[in-house]
């Protein structure tokens, strides 16, 4: 009976652990440190995210012309997942900065240019079995971020036109 209880307890402990998938971190430790060092400076953080997403985009672009092997497909799938995770994380940051009325207009131009490059890279990928879901997710993420950036740009232009004394701020502070 004790052995049966021990087995059941082991299964109850192991089952949730096995169900959790280990998600790879899209940023290296050095990149995480750079984001942490940027602190709450919204322009610096957005600029860093654009740079890191560019790095993933360049890697994806470099994998397009490689021989069609299983290793390439796995690598592309992983890069696309990391790319999407970073794009989504940047979108989350933009939401926060937008809500607190941080002046991020300076960072929106490089972001918009990056979005164009990223869409070109993703559209240049052939649809192949093994990473088509990750490619669709990446395209959706970039499309959503593009829409979000356009909306934030329009909102920011209107807000700072109405509140010129708040230009260049990191966050809204009631007066």
Render pLDDT for 42-76 as a digit per residue (tens, 0 to 9). Answer: 999 999 999 999 999 999 999 988 888 999 999 99
Average pLDDT over residues 5-16: 52
Backbone φ and ψ for 66, nearest 5 degrees, come out as -70, 165
Predicted confidence (pLDDT) at residue 38 exceeds the cutoff of 70:
yes
């Amino acid at each position: 009976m004790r052995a049966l209880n021990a087995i059941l307890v082991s299964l109850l402990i192991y089952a949730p652990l096995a169900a959790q998938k280990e998600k790879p971190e899209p940023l290296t430790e050095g990149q995480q440190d750079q984001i942490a060092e940027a602190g709450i400076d919204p322009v610096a953080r957005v600029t860093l995210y654009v740079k890191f997403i560019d790095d993933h985009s360049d890697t994806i672009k470099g994998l397009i012309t490689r021989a069609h092997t299983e290793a390439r497909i796995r690598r592309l799938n992983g890069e696309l997942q990391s790319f999407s995770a970073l794009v989504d994380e940047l979108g989350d940051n933009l939401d926060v900065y937008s809500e607190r009325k941080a002046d991020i207009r300076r960072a929106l131009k490089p972001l918009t240019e990056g979005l164009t490059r990223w869409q070109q890279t993703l559209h240049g990928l052939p649809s192949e079995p093994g990473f088509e879901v990750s490619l669709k997710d990446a395209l959706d993420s970039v499309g959503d971020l593009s829409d979000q950036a356009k909306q934030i740009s329009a909102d920011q232009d209107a807000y700072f036109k109405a509140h010129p004394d708040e230009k260049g701020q990191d966050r809204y502070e009631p007066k």
